[in-house]
Amino acid sequence: MLTGGFLFQDTKEHKRFGKPVRQTFAIADGHCQFCGNDCLRIVGEGITMCPSCSKQRHVTSLTKRFVYVRKKRIDDHILTIGVSLTHTQHHAAESIMHYLALKEDVIVRAVCGAGKTEIVMPAIFASLKSNLTVGYIVPRIAIAKQLKKRFNDAFPQTSIGFLAGGETHLDKQSFIVVILQRLWHFTHEFDLLIVDESDAFPLKGNPYYKRLIQRSLTDRGRCVFMSATGQKEMVTHPKRNTTMIDVNRRYHGHALDVPAYVRVGKLDKRLNGFDLPDRVRHFIDDCLMRNYPLFLFVPTKRSGWALNRLLNDYGYASWFISAESDDKERVFKHGWEVIVTTTVLERGVTFTDLWVGVMMADHPVFDSDTLVQIAGRVGRKATAPHGRILFFAKTLSRAMDDAMTDIRQTNKEKSDAL
């Protein structure tokens, strides 16, 4: 069987796909043929370039575009989730498949720890059994690698493709895990596309990635967008019907912990002046006295390095992690008490008994959705469903208040549904 097109800018590195079906210029008829952008930029006499694609690769009217058509293998798919779905999860899974069968896109708004991945697995399985092509998009490489391992366990007889970072493992697979930044390779490919963390950077508010999502779908293709937060800017096609499914209960049934605001003035200056405020130090000591792991989120790399240096000077075994860190896994396996981190760890990590503090929580980088995600790191295990989350800041920002209100409202909706 044949699927949609797989795109490259050259043929040297990808000879295993054979002869391309079509060869065109990357910019034609006033549009970029990779992303669909029509707001092009003149860069020379008779030469235009696509500013949307330029952040990842150089695309001009002289760039060649090669389209390959993959042959799709047919596997004997089986699904082994490994755990029994709760009543709430089972109902959500059935609802997703119901609305997809009605040719509707689906938005799954599920609280942190609801088990979104398990909820969508039956829809993936049903699509694979129907010989459809499934894509699963995530925003970060580390999350893509984690999910690939989980899907290998859940679909043991299915060959799963993988495109993330510099890795390209793709041949005839009908199920592909792909990082959002590599989605430009696909055109009219997916019958079902799962967009995980659909409110996260870099997709949030970015029309370039929204166009890539739409262009990667077949004519009959449908999307499932999944997130734990407000879905204010969900990606939906204006002419397509869309249904929202709410999952307000964590898989273990416990309520979400509500963050508390702790007033600490001039925190940035104090950290750079090697002054660890008593309220912060007492929180750290209380956590470590219980032998619990602790994440301290910071808004910038500069403040992260300052805080990590200060904690080391105070004798704490702390490490700093940012998006540029290439040793995250080594750090997690190493002995540590405190992880100082930017928002890079707001998603995709789970630790038993974890406590969380947000330093300078009133900083603009911490919008309400980000703070909800950060708070959702706590209490994800059934054996440790609760913990503490503190927002350290000079003032109670609108985003902080909105995040706490959102979590309280979610808990109320869960309670009302019981």
User: What span, in angstroms and rounded, lies between the C-alpha atoms of 183 and 187?
Assistant: 9
User: What span, in angstroms and rounded, lies between the C-alpha atoms of 251 and 385?
Assistant: 10
Of 28 and 286, the one with more pLDDT: 286
Whether 87-247 shares its CATH topology with 260-417 is answered yes
First to last CA, the chain: 47
The first and second tokens of residue 412, run together, are: 């109320």
Residue spans of the domains in the chain: they are 2-71, 87-247, 260-417
Question: What are the pLDDT digits (tens) for 29-71?
Answer: 888 988 888 989 888 888 999 998 887 778 888 888 888 877 8
- Bridge partner residues of 244 (DSSP): 107
Q: What pLDDT is attached to residue 313?
A: 93
- Bridge partner residues of 27 (DSSP): 32
User: What span, in angstroms and rounded, lies between the C-alpha atoms of 52 and 405?
Assistant: 36
Phi, psi of 330 (to 5 degrees): -65, -40
Of 212 and 18, the one with more pLDDT: 212
Proportion of the chain above pLDDT 70, given as a percent: 90
Question: DSSP assignment of 67-103, as one string?
Answer: EEEEEPP--------SSPPPHHHHHHHHHHHHHHHTT
Q: What pLDDT is attached to residue 307?
A: 96
What letter would DSSP give residue 15? G
CATH of domain 260-417: 3.40.50.300
- Homologous superfamily in CATH for domain 87-247: P-loop containing nucleotide triphosphate hydrolases (3.40.50.300)
Q: Who's near 184: CB < 8 A, 6+ residues apart? A: 7, 34, 35, 53, 56, 212
Question: What are the pLDDT digits (tens) for 327-382?
Answer: 666 667 777 899 999 998 888 788 899 999 999 999 999 999 999 999 999 999 98
The first and second tokens of residue 26, run together, are: 């990357």
Question: What are the pLDDT digits (tens) for 201-239?
Answer: 788 888 889 899 999 999 999 999 998 875 555 555 656
Amino acid, res. 370: T
Q: What pLDDT is attached to residue 336?
A: 83
